[in-house]
Amino acid sequence: MILGTGIDIIEVERIASSYEKFGARFTHRILHPDEIAYCEKHARPEPFLAVRFAAKEAISKAFGTGIGTELGWRDMEIRRNEMGAPYVVLHGAGAKLFAARSARHLWISLSHTAQYAAATATLEG
């Protein structure tokens, strides 16, 4: 059973601007260390940062909370399996919401170009 869905799209330039202006202060606010390392290993990290931003927005919409008091940026972590497919690891409030919703799986899909990053999330019960 589908408990919630979310989608988000963002202009990569918006994230690039924040990354340029605030640097580590920005990335450490929204990402886990492994996410930062993965993004920054690319010659142009901005699309990879942007798609993780979009993924976290989509996840928060699937939960029906948005980003805020019930679910924070760092309560969600985007990882990649050995085949490169993205998956979510929930921490803190994210793990509590997952359990409270009696969820069984959280599916995500990511896509990005030089200009846009998009993500969908589906919370399955």
Max Cα–Cα distance, the chain, nearest Å: 42
Contact indicator for 68, 82 with CB cutoff of 8 Å: no
Assess whether 41 carries a catalytic annotation.
Answer: no
Q: Which amino acid is at 55?
A: A
Residues whose CB falls within 8 Å of the CB of residue 110, separated by 6 or more in sequence, listed in order: 51, 54, 55, 78, 86, 117, 118, 119
Single out the catalytic residue among 32, 56, 61, 105.
61
Assess whether 105 carries a catalytic annotation.
Answer: no
Single out the catalytic residue among 42, 91, 105, 112.
112
Q: What is the chain's Cα-based Rg?
A: 14
Contact indicator for 27, 19 with CB cutoff of 8 Å: yes
Question: What length does the chain have?
Answer: 125
Could you give the residue numbers annotated as active site? Answer: 61, 112
